[in-house]
A and B are shown apart, each in its own frame.
Chain A
C-alpha cells in the first residue's frame, strides 16, 4: 500500500536537460527525505526537510536541489543532467521528531542520463 508516490518510475534523458523528480505523500508527515541508491552501495541521504520551507543537504554532496512549499510535496530538481547522475532516487517520509519512527518509502525513480 503506497502512501508515498514518486513519478516518473523510469526516466531516460540526454545530458544537459533539466529534470524534476516528483514525490508526494498523503500521510501528513512533516519529515521528508531523498536518498540516492546505487547497486552494492548503501543508500545515501542527499536532501531532507523538517517541514514547509525547510530544506537541508544530506551526507552525500549532490548537484540537485529540492523545495518544500507544501507539506505533501517534495520535488527534486537537476538543472543540468549529467551521466554521473544516473542512479535510483528514493523519496521517503516519516512522522514526528523521534528517531524511532520508521521511514516510509516510495517506489523510486530510476534515472538514466545518456
Chain B
C-alpha cells in the first residue's frame, strides 16, 4: 500500500533562508506525488505534482520538489522564505489501485521568523 512520511512536524526558518520540507514515500510502483499547502482556516491548495515526467517539478509561489527514486523521497524546497509562506504543508501519494485515492502525510507546519 502507498504511504508518505513527513519528517518534522514543525520547521522554523528565518525570512530569506532556504526552506526544506521532507517527504518520503512508500510505493511498490512509480507513484504520483503531490504537495499541498493549507493556510489557516482554509482548505488545501495544490503546490505541485509529480507524474513521472521531469524529476524536478516546479510549483506555485517559487516552490519546487525533486523526485528521487533511489531515496524514495520528494522533498519540497524554496530558495528564500517569505513571511507569507507560513502555513501547513502536506505531502500526498496517489493510490495506484483502481480507486486512485490520495494518502496524505501528517503535515509540516512552517514558521517564518522575521
Contact = CB atoms under 8 A, between A and B. Distances in A.
A103 B49 CA distance: 11
B11 to A, nearest CB: 14
Nearest to A31: B100
Contacts of B107: 40, 42
Interface string A3-22: 01010010000000000000
B33 to A, nearest CB: 10
Interface in B30-77: 32, 34, 36, 41-46, 49, 51
A21 to B, nearest CB: 13
A99 B96 contact: yes
B96 A102 contact: no
B20 interface: no
Contacts of B90: 42-43
A30 B107 CA distance: 27
B101 interface: yes
B80 interface: no
Interface stretch (A62-70, A79-87, A105-113): A105-113
Given A48-B99, A90-B44, A105-B45, A99 B104 contact: no
Q: Which 5 A-B pairs have the closest CB atoms?
A: A105-B43, A99-B94, A99-B100, A100-B51, A43-B104
Interface of B: 9, 32, 34, 36, 41-46, 49, 51, 90, 94-96, 99-107
